[in-house]
Structure 1
Amino acid sequence: MLVVVANDLPPAVRGRMKLWFTEPRPNVFVSGVKDSVAETVVSYLYKHCPPEAGVMFFRSINRPPGFELKSIGPTKKRQTQICGLPLVIEAQQND
């Protein structure tokens, strides 16, 4: 599985992503593509997205923790690692 979350994708890249992925929200793409296809898509995004696009990838892998987290440029969400586990920091909501 591959999940791609972006701040702002170039129109040509976003249109191409819509061919293979479901877009549940603007600039959020989800697909159950095979590992080889996921690698191809990630390579394509690295080649065609400027750092301003702020792209974050979540890709399933066959070793702990079961997913890989990578990004291109600064994203709206901060990332951290705790004991080797990559995490995304969410802002605390006051109820």
Structure 2
Amino acid sequence: MIPMKQTVTIRRAGALDIWGKPSFSKPTMYPCRIDASTKRIVQANGQEVVATANILMKELVALGVSDQIVWSDELHQSFTKSPLRISIIRDFSGKPLFTQVVV
């Protein structure tokens, strides 16, 4: 299988405050694999954006595009991003094996 030696913290977006910014839930940590690379992708709305990492987490992880993903790299730089693309990788029976997030 794929080694999951890194971790990400996910903060789920909640209700909007009076300034229109979401409040975030208690952080949850997940083991993952992070492949950092920059590439240009097209979002579902047709907008072109630059993605900085591809995150692979085991099984199905509840995640939305308004949520925050926080992680640190080997140089101890901290990153906080919202998902640009979320995909579920399934086996032949339809069981979720991985959640793939592009940030």
Pick the TM interval, shorter chain: under 0.3
- Which is richer in strand? 2
Q: TM-score under structure 2 normalisation?
A: 0.20
**Bigger Cα Rg:** 2
Higher relative contact order (CA closer than 8 Å, sequence separation 6+): 1
